[in-house]
Amino acid sequence: MSYLLGVVLFAAAILISVSLHEAGHMLTAKAFGMKVTRYFVGFGPTLWSFKRGETEYGIKGIPLGGFCKIVGMTPQDDDVEPGDEKRAMWRYPVWKRTIVMSAGSITHFALALVTLWFIAISAGLPNPKFPSTEAQFRAEPAVIGLAECVVVENVSRPCQAGDPASPAATAQLKTGDRITAVNGQAVATWGDMLDVVRATKPGPATVDYVRDGAPATATVDLAAVQRPPLDDPKGATSSVSALGVALRPSTPALVQYGPGAAFGATADFTGNMAVQTAHAMQRIPQKVPALWTAVTGGERDMDTPISVVGASRLGGEAVENSAWLVFFMLFVSLNFFIGVFNLLPLLPLDGGHIAIAWFERVRSWLYARLRRPDPGRVDYLKLMPITYAVILIGGVFTLLTVTADVVNPITLFSR
């Protein structure tokens, strides 16, 4: 039940975000005097609507987005009534049209930033000094955090009935203890400890550790588990020993900020997220074969793109596991990605309309400097083949990601 609740909550959050996106277009257009005739949440048949002034507001039957109708977006539009010619959007200065067309993405960015600020002062944002690579994790001191059990098979899941107890916990080791030697072989880092433990036969082993500055020794009955090589996580598994502990990094994973400091932390985190989003978008074409592999029965790559369906499923998993920080960080990431993606200079995206508006403005300026007649507005009808191609590619990609998220979804938690 909590999983379904999470799916519904995340889907509703996405719908609200998209509705606010369209509201951003509508409100800025109205502020500049442009005529907005319709604002609807959803698509398909109208369930309910009312008219206030010159705008009809309502809800449609398919809750997969929303739209607002601004009169005269292009010179080729024939929706301008007599007397409204001056209010057609394409007649307004380019800077006003830019604000209106970018207002949707700005709304997504605002939602992401506000959510991040609240996360920073409540749960905390990811610590930039926290280890992020395998090499950094291996270089950490061998300070342990006790696990509740040992999962014998090579899967990531919570403890279940029948799982062996953590050998370290059974031997009275505690979270925060720093391992210094195993069977007399000194270890200085977490990587050293993993290497030595795995090379030791399952069964009794002597573990030296330091607790609160005082050295001590314990006899631990190492468990036998199935694991792949440390340097090849996707390699063949073999039987190795396990201590039943996890790394307790020397730096916290999250840093909580005060209201003032949270602004700077939010800005820094957003900058890093912008870089990661740019890299992720560059890798999308490379990930299409991996998506096809997932659809046709192969293993799903965790780094492949996800659709709204996949994001909602992850939101459901987060709620099911009471991982609300994951839920809200998913919301932030999705809004930021949508905001950036929508500004790409391609029709029919908002970024395509912005690019054309500024192309017209620059071209008119150049022609004026060359004392040549203004070439006028771009004919959108001539760009329709490119627009249809973008829609077709986007539709196929969306269908592929949705299919992958249905038949072979990415999971963050074992269910």
**How far from 255 is each of 67, 112, 162, 266, CA to CA, in Å?**
39, 18, 37, 12
Q: Is residue 152 part of a domain?
A: yes
C-alpha span between 208 and 198 (Å, rounded): 16
Whether the per-residue pLDDT at 413 is higher than 80: the answer is no
Q: What is the pTM of this model?
A: 0.84
Q: How far apart (Å, rounded) are the C-alpha atoms in residues 232 and 99?
A: 50
Please tell me the total count of domains within the chain.
1
Which residues are part of the catalytic machinery?
22
- Spatial contact of 97 and 353, defined as CB atoms under 8 Å apart: yes
Q: Do 104 and 25 meet the contact criterion of CB atoms below 8 Å apart?
A: yes
| Residue in the block written with tokens 């329709």 | 384
Residue 114: inside a domain: no
pLDDT digits (tens, 9 = 90+) for 361-403: 999 999 999 999 988 889 898 999 999 999 999 889 989 999 9
- In which domain, by residue range, is 153 found? 134-247
Return the percentage of the chain with pLDDT > 90, whole number.
60
Where residue 180 sits, what CATH number does that domain have? 2.30.42.10
Collapse the DSSP code of 194 into the 3-class scheme (helix H, G, I; strand E, B; otherwise coil) and give the result: helix
Residue 4 lies in a domain: no
Q: What is the pLDDT of residues 92-101, one digit of tens each?
A: 999 999 999 9
Residue 365 lies in a domain: no
Q: Is residue 338 part of a domain?
A: no
Convert the pLDDT of each residue in 289-304 to its tens digit. 888 888 888 888 888 8
According to the model, what pLDDT value does residue 357 have? 93
pLDDT at 147: 87
Domain assignment of residue 155, yes or no: yes
Residue 225 belongs to a domain = yes
Q: Which pLDDT does position 171 carry in this prediction?
A: 92
Q: Look at residue 376 in the predicted model and tell me its pLDDT.
A: 86
Please indicate, yes or no, if residue 264 is contained in any of the structural domains: no
The predicted pLDDT at position 414 comes to: 60
